[in-house]
A and B are shown apart, each in its own frame.
Chain A
Amino acid sequence: MSALLELDDLHVWFDLGDGGELHAVQGVSLALDAGQRLGLVGESGCGKTTTVLGLLGLLPPSASVSGRVLLNGENILAGGEETIRPHRWNDLAIVFQGAMNALNPVQTVSAQIVEALELHHSSSGRAARARVAELLEAVGIPRDRGDSFPHEFSGGMRQRAAIAMALACNPSVLVADEPTTALDVMVQAQILELLDALCRDFGLALLLVTHDLPVVAQLCDRAAVMYAGEIVEQGPVDALYHDPRHPYTRLLFAATPDLQGNGVPISIPGAPPRLDRPPQGCPFHPRCDRVFSPCPTKHPPLRRLDGEREAACHLNDVPAGVTR
């Protein structure tokens, strides 16, 4: 059975204007099944947001995109905007980090959601207003607060409103880009609880883009770790934490402070490579603590390790039992 949403070898280049080019996304492949929660994690500049903007056809004109985005087997990138538009909101919806920027400040929250419903031919008039009440309730906003303007809402309420709007046309996939990053920890917990309930109750598939590993560990089934425009490892979150197969995954967890852990977090030396001047070999090798002979020259492909795991690291080529 094919996945609900599949990214197949997605590349994004940005034209830098001076003849230079920035290869921001370098062949990303991902699969998301109905009702599944996948975390796309990485640090700033790794290409995670560009990946999701690419899959939704929301990149600026200076970007060129190649690869396929299969929704129920149909390549929605095939015909550009023409083939993406019918699916945006209706099948694929997105929630951004800054909910204040996602909402129109001079329109009430209800009016904005009604507009979205009418624009996407989902419903109109009285039916649309009834749907808005239903949506607000689903995200925990009292019905009568729908007539408020976004600035009358707290940060958490705005993010709930943005989620309600994303859910307006009953999408099957919700893409959430850093949905809790600007929020306090208690409000974050409320929003994560809401996302969890929406996935459970409506069978929504979630693609959660974040730099926050613990959020992914708590909310997602699987995760893909991005570094320098590529996925370097993906698999079930439990396996990524307990048995990472790429040093970057291990070091990123080790750099993350944990409330109850004993160890002191350790930072990763160096900085990610510049994507307009990609390094030779493995992009992580200058920062890696297990670098060996092939790493500086040979680029490791993302390889399937077992049923559910993939990693792009030469260490996985070394036969078991052989220590370097």
Chain B
Amino acid sequence: MSANGRLLEVDDLVVHYPVVRGLLGAMARRPQQVVRAVDGVSFAVERGELLALVGESGCGKTTTAQTVLRLLEPVGGRIAFQGQEITTLSHRQLRPLRRRMQIVYQDPYESLDPRLTVRATVEEPLLIHRAGGSKAERAELVRDALERVELTPPELFLHRYPHELSGGQRQRIAIAASIVLGPDLLVADEPVSMLDVSVRAGVLGLLDRLREGGLGVLMITHDLSTAARFADRIAVMYLGRIVEEGPAAAVVGDPQHPYTKALLSVVPRRDPRERSRPQILRGEAPDAVRIPSGCRFHPRCPAAIADCREIDPALEPAGSGAGQRAACILAG
């Protein structure tokens, strides 16, 4: 392990998807267009920290998460895991690292194999990575993982199939299968959005306790209320860029970027007396094939000035939070 304290460091990450132009387009030699899904994203996740990457659909948050794990290939930028650059490692070189960085998907109804018992599901990663030692030792690791996801006593669950479990229990099994290898980083892509409200808090609380135990968590979510309650830091994405980042309390309590401000203003509150004055942005984010010039948010920005059409702002220190930054020439 390196002396570098950063668990994960992402610097100027760029991911493009080619747009299918079809045979006619190719014959007409129309220029190949690309979706700039991730367009220069930098962030870090420390050990024992939960970073929430929030934004609307199409902003590039899931692409970012998958690229960090090298499930997608970036066209630019670098990804360092525990001080080691992994951007250009071959899949063979990546293999020993895979067990230290794991992912939990959104839908526990899709991500679990219906033919595998809980025991087999949680044991599978150990077999794939030839880890965990003897059969008895593996059984112990599986029991231990189930206890860590609070499915106790493990005997009650080991021989069940996914269809015999509730949504919350299934997501706990998916998390157990992710942590059985003892990873240092967990990427959780909308881990509770398919679950009922009454069980969401339990799964998020579980991630929080794993984080306390030293796990670094990168959580992808569209739900600002969840990010506000469970994240240490929040990064807000818009059209392939992080437009604001900082401690969760600062981003929510003292937002600096006009997009963050608008987004926060439209989140419905539990208390009917807190009827906010929503600042509703018109239209929807433009597609990532045609990213606007200058600040990519300027066509929808209520505060835009003439310079915003020209200047593509970098993330600069702004606001009251430690390390809070915003990509807006009017912030700070």
A interface residues with partner B (beta carbon < 8 Å) = 43-44, 154, 156, 184-190, 192-193, 211-215, 217-218, 237-238, 241-242, 251-253, 255-261, 264-268, 271
Contacts and interface: CB of A to CB of B under 8 A. Distances in A.
Most chain A beta carbons < 10 A, residue from B168, B271, B275: B271
Contacts of A252: 197-198
B280 A264 contact: no
B204 interface: yes
A186 B262 contact: yes
Contacts of B282: 190
Contact of B201 (A43, A186, A213, A257): A257
Contacts of A211: 196-197
A185 B196 CA distance: 18
Contacts of A253: 270
Given A242-B271, A259-B228, A267-B201, 13 more contacts: A184-B222, A185-B266, A187-B284, A189-B266, A217-B272, A241-B271, A258-B271, A259-B267, A260-B253, A264-B208, A264-B230, A267-B198, A268-B198
B300 to A, nearest CB: 9
Contacts of A193: 278, 280
Nearest to B300: A186
A251 B280 CA distance: 31
A257 B226 contact: yes
Contacts, number: 127
Given A213-B270, A255-B201, A258-B269, A186 B225 contact: no
Interface string B190-213: 000000111111111100100000
Given A186-B262, A211-B196, A268-B199, A241 B272 contact: yes
B196 A215 contact: no
Q: Which 5 A-B pairs have the closest CB atoms?
A: A267-B202, A214-B268, A189-B266, A265-B201, A267-B201
Contact of B199 (A189, A212, A259, A267): A267
Nearest to A213: B270
A184 B280 contact: no
A217 B269 contact: yes
A265 B213 CA distance: 20
A215 B268 CA distance: 6
13 contacts: A184-B57, A186-B56, A186-B280, A189-B278, A213-B197, A252-B197, A255-B197, A258-B271, A259-B225, A259-B269, A265-B200, A267-B200, A268-B198
B249 to A, nearest CB: 10
Given A186-B263, A189-B266, A264-B205, A255 B200 contact: yes
Interface residues on B, range: 35 or more
Most chain A beta carbons < 10 A, residue from B230, B282, B284: B284
Contacts of B223: 185, 257
B34 interface: no
Given A43-B196, A217-B268, A255-B198, A185 B263 contact: yes
A184 B65 CA distance: 19
Contacts of A260: 228, 252-253, 269, 274
Given A214-B268, A218-B269, A257 B196 contact: no
A218 B280 CA distance: 15
B273 interface: yes
B198 A257 contact: no
Contacts of B267: 185, 214, 259
Contact of A188 (B198, B205, B266): B266
Interface string B219-238: 00011111011100000000
Contact of B225 (A44, A257, A266): A257
Nearest to A219: B268
B262 A217 contact: no
